[in-house]
Amino acid sequence: MHGPAIRLLLALSIFVLAGAAPAPAVPAGAATEAGDYLSKLPPLIDRELFFGDPEISGAQISGDGRFISFRKPYRGVMNVWIKKTNKPFGSARPLTADTERPVRAYFWTQDSRYVLYLQDQGGNENFHIHAVDPTAKPGKGAKVPPARDLTPIEGITARIYALPERTPDTIVIGLNDRDPAVHDVYRLTISTGERELLLRNEQNVVSWVADLDGNIRLAYRTTADGGGEVLRVGDDGLEPVYSCTFEETCAPARFHKDGKRVYMVTNTGDHDLSRLVLFDPATGEEQLVHQDPEGEVDFGSPIFSDATEQLIGAAYVGDRVRIYPFTDELKRDLAVLRDKLPDGELGFSSATEDDRYALVGVASDVNPGSVYLYDSQQGSVEKLYDSRPELPSEHMAPVTPVRYTARDGQEIPAYLTVPRGVEPRRLPAIVVPHGGPWSRDRWGFSSVEQFLANRGYVVLSPNFRGSTGYGKAFLNAGNGEWGTGLMQHDISDGVKYLVDEGIADPERIAIMGGSYGGYATLAGLTFTPDLYAAGVSIVGPSNIITLLKSIPAYWGPIQKIFHRRVGDPDDPADQERLKRQSPLYSATRINKPLLVIQGANDPRVKQAESDQIVVALRDLGRPVEYMVAPDEGHGFAGRENRLAMHVAIERFLAQHLGGRHQQSMQKDVATRLAALMVDVASVKMPELPEGLEPAKTSDLPQVSADTLKPLDLRYTSKVQVGAQELIIRSTRTHGADTLDDRPVWKVTGRAETPAGNAEDTFWLDPATLQPLRRSASQGPARIELQFTAERVTGRIQAGPSEVDVDRALEAPVFGEGPGLEAVLLALPLEPGYHTNVRVFETARQQVRPMSVTVAGKETLDVAAGSFETWHAVLQPLDGESGGGDYWVSTGSGPMLIRSVTRIPPVMGGGKVSTELTEVVDAN
């Protein structure tokens, strides 16, 4: 930020709450040539039947019962279609026509007037909300009604908090347009697109909870120690009413229809398993509603009536799903459905507002599912469609819940899939750890597991410690236990179980997974290399430190949870452990073949995570293959990409485990496969925001310090924080000086502020412009720091409070404020210029890696005159807000002409705009 005034006013009182957590995605593959058992397997099933687009999926009935919508390919891409409820599917017409990316999430408004859907671009997870009127006519030359982007703001990700039934033309949403780290609350009118700001998120709220009328009544945020806090939203702001530690759960689920109490899922206190309670925010009273009758698992999900808003049942996920009805009506409905529908797990996808009609899905371990229209009044069911009608269920492999004992005696729940038709004796096997890691596997149909079983592999899906659903002790046993700890040990002990039971051939076991499962794959090959013959990592992080440093900005409010459960990369003790747990730092131990798969637009696990491990293994001469999709994010959504990925996996596993694989593939898939496979010789260690490790330790850029000239400049800054605006006048003085009898370059900033005059001086090495000393003051506040290449020491004083600074540095840094400004003036700026810098941020005693990019050359007219400038953009690489735009004059004796910098949300959010008003002296 230009000018020391605001920095000194705020530097001593900043505490940053930020956030993150990756999520799942689990693919798979198959093989050739093995033993006699291959001839006993069912027929080889075309991979298109597993991973091509389903014929129909995701059906929903409109609230008024007139329409049924569903997802179906349109021009080769999954889009939303619609038909009248009493008409056949052949009469359906498309509602959306996205030809680039499938529409994966949509729903009806409360009055059945619109279909809303969420869509991002290329997997970047910047979701916008779109609306389509299903009764509207297509425009001229179009095949679908016009869709409106209700949140047409670049770079945001929208969230939906409520669809009020009483005001169906409005929805309550969250937007992170003001600050990418947090979501403010708006009421959005669907018909007009108008937005009304309801609440400004200035307290790092993670989520907002509305009552049934759409009034925001509660907020949930992460506390400084990683715990959770439920807050009541009132006229006087946010008031804490319920709390839990970072090891506990206290999550509001939905308001009661009385508008006073809220259903909450909680396991605070002595309760290990979470329960459903009714909580009164006004009185603090808590009433137990339901908990698992079998005392086995956490509370699952509530079931509400659309007609009465009454809680009518609850579902729990044990080895299989268990549904408990609370009303005679639901008890009767379940009896009718179980009598008339095939055996399997029931799923209620949507219902009419009067509860008469409901769409009910039935799926099993060997059947991806069918959907039925249920008429509760008549007690009748009508089959609407099969999701994948050509997939032969008779050839699918049954999935069996199993338990095995970990090395410390803990029982680990898992699911075992054995190829149909063969004895489970010494077969090639694949362990598939789930993503998250704070999620779990469950019984049901999995295209991945069935595909692998059809190719001849036993599949083990373990719910290792750190998985959710089995109580807080089981979950918290995974804290800090990535890679070299219990979470990975549980996976390794699953391999031992397969071998000890004689199920798996110990020489032919692979590990494969996505997201955390991809990390577990890399960790398995690294820390237990003798267990596995090969591995497939899909969007898996290789370096936990860079993973934690590059999280999406909008995960900011939950970063502390990640730090408590995984580790704080800025804590020296945690950092050393995280390095030990990161496969990248022990890549020399990987000696088995690895296939790495990555989406270039992944905002959670950046491409740098895969690039890093590929480069490391390539340079070590280890066998590694690499696939990158330029139009995908955290998992592959596009049909051709999905199929190409599974061709690569199938071939890889066949080569290294000896299963079978399908030789043929469609021409478009073959073309896509060739385009996605990367020559590992061409991969470079990342230097851009996707990878922070190089920026943290690489050499600082060369500066042309001899181009700097003595300067005496005057500036005016406009500070905007919320609705407040402040004008500050400041000066910058650059010139040669001495410090302890050695020559230095000295930069001093002075400012006149309502809080008193401020001064900030850096003494810089004249060759590198790295700081040697800093002295800053404003009223009773003082900063005195000394810098070496290895350490920053000194003291921060604010009145009677003093804070000692003693921070080890992994690599040299630049100063902030005036110190950084001198660096920008001395960089060899030109069109296309890019570099990374490291800045020591005094307020948090942190080193922040940042990129500097020249956006172009511009002519600026300011009070001091007209100047040709380089427009340089400073962008933090740690996923947090900050940085800004700087315009530096071209030619000799460069000067800062203008800057626009962003104030982090913890400082109130806003920006500082600074312009040069007078050049007093420039020699």
Among candidate residues 826, 848, 830, 829, the one with its CA nearest the CA of residue 839: 848
Q: Which residue has the tokens 């922070």?
A: 692
Ordered alpha helix ranges (H), 305-424: 328-340
**Residue 905: DSSP 8-state:** G
pLDDT of 418-434, one tens digit each? Answer: 999 999 999 999 999 99
Mean pLDDT computed over 3-12: 34
Q: Which residue has the tokens 């139009």?
A: 631
| Torsional class of 909: left (φ above 0), alpha (ψ -120 to 50), beta (otherwise) | left
Beta-strand pair 228-234/237-244? antiparallel
Using pLDDT thresholds of 50, 70 and 90, give the confidence band for residue 877.
low
Average pLDDT, the chain: 89
> DSSP secondary structure string, 518-578?
HHHHHHHHHHSTTT-SEEEEES--S-HHHHHHT--GGGGGGHHHHHHHT--TTSHHHHHHH
Query: Rounded distance, CA 760 to CA 774, Å?
Result: 7
- Under 8 Å between Cβ of 350 and 60: yes
For 596, list phi and psi in degrees, rounded to 5: -110, 130
pLDDT of 103-122, one tens digit each? Answer: 989 999 999 999 999 999 88
CA distances from 873 to 850, 870, 901 (A): 10, 10, 10
For residue 678, the model assigns a pLDDT of: 95
* 694 SS3 class: helix
Catalytic annotation, pick one of 179, 602, 760, 878: 602
> DSSP secondary structure string, 203-218?
S-EEEEEE-TTS-EEE
pLDDT of 504-519, one tens digit each? Answer: 999 999 999 999 999 9
pLDDT of 640-652, one tens digit each? Answer: 999 999 999 999 9
**% of the chain surpassing 90 pLDDT:** 74
Query: Rounded distance, CA 581 to CA 568, Å?
Result: 13
pLDDT of 225-252, one tens digit each? Answer: 889 999 999 988 999 999 999 999 999 9
For residue 905, the model assigns a pLDDT of: 57
Catalytic annotation, pick one of 461, 515, 730, 889: 515
- Neighbouring CB atoms inside 10 A of 721's CB total 16
For residue 24, the model assigns a pLDDT of: 30
Give ∠ CA 842-846-848 in degrees, rounded to 5.
105
| Torsional class of 775: left (φ above 0), alpha (ψ -120 to 50), beta (otherwise) | beta
CA distances from 322 to 66, 296, 463, 650 (A): 31, 11, 18, 35
pLDDT of 549-604, one tens digit each? Answer: 887 877 777 788 889 999 998 888 888 899 889 999 888 889 999 999 999 998 88
- Under 8 Å between Cβ of 922 and 709: yes
Query: Rounded distance, CA 640 to CA 626, Å?
Result: 17
Alpha-carbon Rg for the chain, nearest whole angstrom, is 30
Residues 6+ apart with CB under 8 A from 774: 760, 761, 762, 763, 783, 784, 785, 787, 794, 815, 819, 842
pLDDT of 18-48, one tens digit each? Answer: 222 222 322 333 333 345 789 899 999 999 9
> Does residue 917 have a pLDDT over 70?
yes
Q: Which residue has the tokens 């010139």?
A: 735
Query: Rounded distance, CA 876 to CA 692, Å?
Result: 10
Q: Which residue has the tokens 């999520």?
A: 23
| Torsional class of 112: left (φ above 0), alpha (ψ -120 to 50), beta (otherwise) | left
CA distances from 171 to 135, 150, 258 (A): 20, 11, 21
- Under 8 Å between Cβ of 130 and 152: no
For 554, list phi and psi in degrees, rounded to 5: -75, 0
For residue 266, the model assigns a pLDDT of: 97
CA distances from 312 to 199, 265, 307, 328 (A): 33, 16, 11, 9
**Displacement of CA 54 from its chain's centroid (Å):** 26
> Does residue 692 have a pLDDT over 70?
no
> Does residue 754 have a pLDDT over 90?
no
Task: Output the six-digit token pair for 76.
Answer: 């080769």
Beta-strand pair 411-417/311-317? unpaired
> Does residue 92 have a pLDDT over 50?
yes
Among candidate residues 587, 557, 543, 568, the one with its CA nearest the CA of residue 695: 543
**% of the chain surpassing 70 pLDDT:** 93
634 is catalytic: yes
> DSSP secondary structure string, 245-259?
-TTS-EEEEEE-TTS
Instruction: Of 79-93, 258-272, 354-368, 808-822, give the lowest mean pLDDT range.
Output: 808-822
- Under 8 Å between Cβ of 851 and 828: no
Catalytic annotation, pick one of 256, 563, 634, 656: 634
Mean pLDDT computed over 325-337: 97
> DSSP secondary structure string, 47-63?
HHHHHSPPSSEEEEE-T
Q: Which value, to the nearest 10 degrees, does the dihedral of the CA atoms of residues 795, 799, 801, 803 take?
A: -10
Instruction: Of 250-264, 271-285, 525-539, 707-721, give the lowest mean pLDDT range.
Output: 707-721
pLDDT of 714-744, one tens digit each? Answer: 999 998 876 678 899 999 999 999 999 999 9
For residue 909, the model assigns a pLDDT of: 64
CA distances from 372 to 35, 60, 78, 85, 439 (A): 43, 11, 21, 12, 29
Task: Output the six-digit token pair for 552.
Answer: 């999406």
Residues 6+ apart with CB under 8 A from 88: none
The percent helix, strand, coil of the chain (3-state, each to 5) is 20, 40, 40
**Displacement of CA 754 from its chain's centroid (Å):** 41
- Under 8 Å between Cβ of 788 and 795: no
Element (H, E) at 697: helix 693-697
Task: Output the six-digit token pair for 45.
Answer: 């099933």
Q: Is 254 exposed, middle or buried (0-12, 13-18, 19+ CB in 10 A)?
A: middle
The amino acid present at 699, given as its one-letter code, is D
pTM: 0.72
> DSSP secondary structure string, 329-356?
HHHHHHHHHHHHS-SSEEEEEEE-TTSS
For residue 778, the model assigns a pLDDT of: 87
Instruction: Of 159-173, 375-389, 462-476, 902-916, give the lowest mean pLDDT range.
Output: 902-916
Peptide bond into 904 cis (omega under 30): no
* 677 SS3 class: strand
Among candidate residues 653, 52, 69, the one with its CA nearest the CA of residue 368: 52
Task: Output the six-digit token pair for 811.
Answer: 């690599």
pLDDT of 803-832, one tens digit each? Answer: 899 999 888 999 999 999 999 999 999 887
